[in-house]
């Protein structure tokens, strides 16, 4: 049985793909060949998963992901 990747695993994968593309390499990600023109899509995916990780961490600590000012 395959284990589903965690949100942090996905962030790590997107970071590796982003680095590879920035280094001028082609990389395979989710069955697609990614090149420099795909950088924006890779960065959007990374941001999505980084937000997911932050939300999960906030849920564990019981703290919201933003600060509230009290005046």
3-state SS string for the chain: CCCCCCHHHHHHHHHHHHHHHHCCCCEEECCEEECHHHHHHHHHHHHHHHHHHHHHHHHHHCCCCCCCCCC
pLDDT by 10s per residue, the chain, length 71: 678 889 999 999 999 988 888 888 777 777 888 777 788 888 999 999 999 999 988 888 776 656 666 77
Q: What's the number of domains the chain is made of?
A: 1
Looking at residue 31, its pLDDT comes to: 83
Looking at residue 68, its pLDDT comes to: 64
d(CA 16, CA 66): 28
Q: Which two three-digit tokens encode residue 1?
A: 């049985």
Angle at alpha carbon of residue 5, lines to 2 and 9, rounded to 5°: 145
Residue 24 lies in a domain: yes
Looking at residue 64, its pLDDT comes to: 62
Residue 67 lies in a domain: no
Q: State which residues form the domain around 22.
A: 7-56
Residue 26 lies in a domain: yes
Residue 49 lies in a domain: yes
Residue 65 lies in a domain: no
């Amino acid at each position: 049985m395959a284990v589903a990747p965690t949100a942090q695993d996905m962030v790590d994968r997107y970071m590796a793909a982003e680095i590879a593309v920035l280094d001028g390499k082609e990389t395979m990600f989710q069955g697609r060949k990614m090149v420099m023109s795909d950088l924006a899509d890779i960065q959007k995916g990374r941001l999505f998963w980084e937000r997911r990780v932050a939300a999960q961490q906030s849920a564990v600590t019981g703290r919201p992901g933003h600060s509230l000012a009290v005046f």
